[in-house]
A and B are shown apart, each in its own frame.
Chain A
């Protein structure tokens, strides 16, 4: 038996014992996960340094602080999220219980990505644990050291039968996908996303796909360009541009292009010194393959800043391209690197058309001091999420659903959305066997009179939750009296 099959079967067996159902179990596991993050901060940071040259501070800032926040939210809210949720009744169900009961799905497969390996692999796990599922965790093999640490240390903290870590590459992932899961949560690219969805189709498994795309960044003439460029530079060059919601390219009026380039140069110098290669706060490209891919994208455009590189270190300097044409190589795929193309367009409506001619992105960035323009742009476009006047930070707001649309993905998570996404919301109607007289209207033999009564009851939706208790009883009394009268009149 392969390690994949063993992991899946053990997880399913453990799930079927019912041990993940009690809220206390889930809270304990979440707290253990929290402990893991805190106690093993050093091992996590060391692995990230080796894999992505992430700085010592980059780890908590971008990987673990967000996780700690989500765990803390889940622990404090779990009882509320998992409780039955009352639903609207109608006149016929006045005396019945009508509610939605969130339930675990079963065994969830979580496939992580390499760019924020802890954040994007463990954050879905938080939702899976909170919702009462078992989970098979498959970290990205591209992050060799992080995978190893996850595989070795995570089982020391959380229930290793219920949440096994399966390490390996494409083959191991394909082996996993042969098995049946109750949900698959994938973070990565479109191409593999399609493969995952197809594999899921065989077992009718629902999926969440957190993909990517080219996230446009529109800079209006009317805005604080200094602050805008600083925030954009931060959003772009963090993690060396390898962020699914990094601002991919800039759209702006030609008259501000030079100023933008100046301001970005200034910010890059403030952040990473004159020589980012020597700065410990600046990352590296994950591997040679991606290094070569990103370098190719520079070929047919004009470099305004940066361009220096060193293949032996997978180093690419923070780079800006100017006067980029829509047909340029850099505009044909998601860049996922520290290269920021600037395309000049005439006005906001041209920008909107440009964006709408392309696939729906994961994020849309709008920099403007004009709220009307911002609202206009939001209304006329579609994207996973929108952030005005900053980059990336909407990711950390737990009360906003984070996910794509169209080619950028399907499904969403964070906060309660993670819990709901990985639960089954079961509609429940609890009736009693009494009041059988009421049912007479619906039974055959059918008569015109019965039919008109039935129509009356079904067609009247009442927001009973809004009525006061006294109104409810009065209504019920009238209803019963009328029914009994009809019943006897029959």
Chain B
């Protein structure tokens, strides 16, 4: 069996041979990836069911279709993206060719996460392939069934010269990171992200980090409470709250809370019935350890559990839970919840809500529910977050036109659609000059004179009025 080093060297040799550069190769690989998903839907659903008890609906929409969507979008657009873009020229550069090429980086490493084990590793792969790179996939070892399926299917569908799956846990990841890559794409936690960045610094490797944080959900002003509650409940309890963009906690006034609670209860009952444990549409927690962590959080909270709170470890079921009467110092407010517990904190005013949010780390997503556009605008202008969505949750990340990524502690870099392609490309600025106009070039050579300088200044200041500046050198 090949060692990690051997695999990386093999991929590097393949990259250097130029096999991934032609558009045709990239399209063929992308179409193969599409076939992988189309041919193996039942096996994929089964693996996701084993790993997370993911309801078929969720698995199809958030795992398979999201990737298929991005694949089709990329396959259709790649011939355009791959073209050099010619940039603005002006008088001085009329005879020159100035353009930007998107070029592959080389061998990239993609580290996946366990909560959307298929999507989070294949979505970056789409861009890596589209940009002409070779790639090593390191799926999360926690979502074991999906990891095994990927290890089996990827070599069957994609070029084994150029793409490899490396499995393993923390030890294997650590040794993998000692190697040199041309880009590292990581989805996961802040703690691990720090060590990834440190490993990357040794080789000056650029990275994309898709992290998380506590995504606030502000409910304020005039609104249709039931509609809001349905969307809130849907986004919160999708995948049993194990989404990096799930609304982590709710902020609203005490009066709103009185309306919100029954609306949430109603939504929960419509979605999962009176016994969510029996509903086929409600997921499970990924491992015992994560289940324990959530139970412990509930044990430590100073708040009051008004809905749910129970669970059973044998099948890792954790009820949709709502907690009230807690404040910012509560145990539930110290870390990303990543589970089906919804704390509702009360605020006296919108201003207070905004201040509360701004005192904390910048989240990956920020949500506002309100029918009043000035409320939405105020929150948008006064806060910062990876992404923003008003009057819904999660769905903003399904739009390939929007860059999906964090800021500050929630991450760096972004992807989806063309953004993935750009992430895995080098934007090379190219300028092709001619031999003519040497008389103008002479203005810049020594011996430097006042009059040459003033001619050059004139030539460049004339450009100030036109778009784009280029010195006449």
Contacts and interface: CB of A to CB of B under 8 A. Distances in A.
Interface residues of B, number: 114
A402 B234 CA distance: 45
10 contacts: A61-B453, A194-B204, A201-B200, A206-B413, A393-B473, A397-B98, A397-B468, A424-B384, A429-B389, A458-B398
A378 B467 CA distance: 28
Residue of A90, A190, A379, A402 ringed by the most chain B CB atoms within 10 A: A90
B183 to A, nearest CB: 9
B197 A201 contact: yes
The 3 closest A-B pairs by CB, nearest first: A88-B401, A427-B402, A87-B401
Contacts of A409: 204
B392 A60 contact: no
A401 B66 CA distance: 32
Given A204-B209, A415-B468, A461-B69, A386 B430 contact: yes
Interface string B218-231: 00000110011011
B201 A197 contact: yes
Nearest to B417: A88
B392 A201 contact: no
A209 B204 CA distance: 9
A443 B270 contact: yes
Interface stretch (A45-53, A68-76, A168-176, A329-337): A68-76
B272 A444 contact: yes
Interface in B196-212: 197-198, 200-202, 204, 206, 209, 211
A248 interface: no
Interface string B394-423: 011011111110011101111001000000
A55 B227 CA distance: 70
Counting chain A residues whose Cβ lies within 8 A of the other chain, the interface size class is: 35 or more
Nearest to B18: A380
Given A100-B403, A412-B429, 8 more contacts: A73-B468, A100-B402, A204-B211, A209-B204, A270-B446, A398-B469, A429-B396, A444-B271
B469 A65 contact: no
Nearest to B237: A444
Contacts of B428: 382-386, 405
A399 interface: yes
B100 A401 contact: yes
Interface stretch (B52-60, B135-143, B338-346): B52-60
Contacts of B224: 433-434, 436
Nearest to A375: B432
B389 A428 contact: yes
Contacts, number: 313
Contacts of B427: 401, 403, 412
A410 B204 contact: yes
Interface of B: 16, 18, 21, 55-57, 60-61, 65-66, 68-69, 72-73, 87-88, 93, 98, 100-101, 103, 105-106, 182, 190, 193-194, 197-198, 200-202, 204, 206, 209, 211, 223-224, 227-228, 230-231, 234, 270-273, 279-282, 369, 371, 376, 380, 382, 384-392, 395-396, 398-404, 407-409, 411-414, 417, 426-435, 438, 441, 444-450, 452-453, 456-457, 460, 463-464, 467-471, 473
Given A73-B468, A398-B470, A451 B57 contact: yes
A90 B448 contact: no
B431 A445 contact: no
Contacts of B447: 271, 273, 279, 281
Contacts of B68: 459
Contact of B384 (A88, A103, A390): A103
A21 to B, nearest CB: 8
Nearest to A428: B388
B470 A72 contact: no
Interface in A181-223: 182, 190, 193-194, 197-198, 200-202, 204, 206, 209, 211, 223
Residue of B103, B223, B272, B409 ringed by the most chain A CB atoms within 10 A: B103
